[in-house]
A and B are shown apart, each in its own frame.
Chain A
């Protein structure tokens, strides 16, 4: 059972596995340092890129064309959501909640228990999901962009 479960554990920890106890400094040390210290900004940048794929709002709502460019703006196609304000607001709410999820882990490093049993990482995710749920319910059931 041990090797089986170690394999399953491995799946779960694809990004979480720190190779504790192994010294990788002899392998491409610059790359290692680069990744270690630039992980957070790169991650934020990545989530931003990820969201751009989902969400055109940075280009349409706040006009930050310089980030991708007006040429690129014409090519995005999720018009059913972007063409009206409720869709844009919906996407902004989702974006802000995801940014919040990246921000709050700094408060996880002290034992904080809410309502007798909720730990901070669980509660923050629960709030994220509830925000998504409320935004989704309002948008999809009041402003559903396709015809039923």
Chain B
């Protein structure tokens, strides 16, 4: 049964990839940015399920389960950050890229600041942050295969790798976006379906019954700072503020910024925040919150439970364990499909973005500026294969170090180009010296914190110091040229004021 369903799922994805390949225009712009023709609904799925990886299924509910509801502040920060990207930066970034035929957001920044050095620095920072994340998704599917269906993890890794290669090599960004619709629907249906089914089965009086259990057995799980960790409060006031700020930085996640360049016309920026807030922030992200903060801990603490309370990292599997214990065996296959969908939808857009950074920003931008469209596409496809092998290799090579690496480097690494990105779009006075100094300083602090095991508060410090360095150095160095102001500000204003 499992094998049949997974084969059908794979065939559906493969069919979409082949169809996408047949209708594509075979140009670099078409392959990398879907011909700048992505509409509202496709963009919404591309973005929401580019963000919602297997992390949303495993780690987020697991973290709430262990530490109480305060971590939801990270998600609220993310929602505000993503929406801000589409409200404030998106139209300008899209307009300048469309007018000047830029194919990557890093290319936009390198032209804005007139610096190839900055282009290499940003590409390397973002690649270093993204590659392990991609590997982790494949690895996660492999281990999900083992947990849900009893397959060897290698089966899941190979399955995911084949699907990713088909999606990206054949269809590029267009098929990546299309498949995200299919994957997103599968993922959200599985996730929401399992939640409603478990609530219906275990708590006949609904979620308030779960709250009553928690109030009686472990009231600490209903408030900050959450249960004590080795005698210490976990979510203190500064930490809650810190996770919120980290969430706000989500406007700079490169695979999400990439989405703004694929948009068909500016009216999409008018409607996108509505979907982002209602369907994404309030709708989809309430599911893992209810799972992790109320349903799962209440099930673990109630009398006669089939899933006794777990601690530590085992809590990250809590949703999966509850599904397998409380729901019929056949549902596990759908849950596994949900995990596969979650992992592939995120890995595909990250892999596509990473490959564009390699081909467009590193190879074309530095070594071979006169490359043709055909060469660019070939390099991007080769980069996809190379990056996929590299990412899985890194993930398998040292997973324990990888966990620390992700905690302290990867996601905060995305934020290190945030001041440069935001300033480049809305601040005429930002200079290349400021951008380079800010990005390097912030990244250096991040790496130092990782190597010397400094308190994680250093991550917040890296954002602050990066931003301040960018502003101060920009003010101390010569202004950008008039041509830059014309191309990146005046022409953009005129273009955005034209009728759509």
User: Which A residues are closer than 8 A to B by beta carbons?
Assistant: 1-22, 24, 27-28, 31-32, 35-36, 39-40, 42-43, 45-47, 49-50, 53-54, 72, 75-81, 98, 101-102, 105-106, 108-113, 116-117, 119-122, 124-126, 128-129, 132-133, 136-137, 140-141, 144, 146-148
Contacts and interface: CB of A to CB of B under 8 A. Distances in A.
Nearest to B320: A1
B41 to A, nearest CB: 18
Contacts of B230: 20-21
B49 interface: no
B412 to A, nearest CB: 5
A5 B58 contact: yes
B239 A136 contact: no
A63 B243 CA distance: 31
Given A35-B461, A136-B87, A113 B71 contact: no
Contacts of A98: 80
Interface residues on B, range: 35 or more
Given A111-B219, A137-B274, A9 B63 contact: yes
27 contacts: A1-B143, A1-B147, A2-B314, A4-B139, A9-B58, A10-B404, A10-B406, A11-B55, A14-B408, A18-B236, A18-B455, A28-B452, A35-B457, A36-B455, A36-B457, A40-B237, A47-B245, A49-B467, A50-B245, A50-B248, A54-B88, A112-B222, A121-B72, A122-B72, A125-B76, A136-B274, A148-B267
B73 A105 contact: yes
Given A121-B72, A129-B79, A140-B270, A111 B223 contact: yes
Interface stretch (B21-29, B353-361, B425-433): B425-433
Nearest to A146: B496
B487 to A, nearest CB: 13
Contact of A77 (B75, B229, B273, B426): B426
A49 B242 CA distance: 15
A117 B238 contact: no
A120 B140 CA distance: 32
B393 interface: no
A5 B59 CA distance: 6
A68 B200 CA distance: 56
Contact of A146 (B60, B241, B497): B497
Interface stretch (B103-111, B113-121, B395-403): B395-403
Given A75-B427, A101-B76, A105-B70, A16 B243 contact: yes
Among B71, B74, B211, B456, max chain A CB count under 10 A is at: B456
Contact of A10 (B210, B407, B419): B407
Contacts of B155: none
Nearest to A49: B467
Given A14-B412, A136-B274, A46 B240 contact: no
Given A17-B407, A18-B456, A129-B76, A105 B241 contact: yes
Interface string B233-253: 011111111111110100000
Contacts, number: 306
B153 to A, nearest CB: 9
B140 A3 contact: no
Interface of B: 53-55, 58-60, 62-63, 67, 69-76, 79-80, 83-84, 87-88, 91, 133, 136, 139-140, 143-144, 146-147, 206-208, 210-211, 215, 219-220, 222-225, 229-230, 232, 234-246, 248, 266-267, 270, 273-274, 277-278, 281-282, 289, 293-294, 313-314, 316-317, 399-400, 402-404, 406-408, 410-412, 419, 422-423, 426-429, 452-461, 463-464, 467-468, 471, 475, 489, 493, 496-500
Main secondary structure, interface of B, reads helix
Nearest to A7: B403
Contacts of A116: 207-208, 211
Contacts of B467: 46, 49-50
Contacts of A36: 238, 455, 457
A15 B239 contact: yes
Nearest to A32: B455
B70 A108 contact: yes
B143 A11 contact: no
Contact of A109 (B55, B206, B224, B277): B224
Contacts of B72: 121-122, 125
Top 10 nearest A-B pairs (CB, nearest first) are: A5-B316, A10-B407, A125-B76, A8-B59, A75-B429, A108-B224, A116-B208, A7-B403, A15-B246, A9-B59
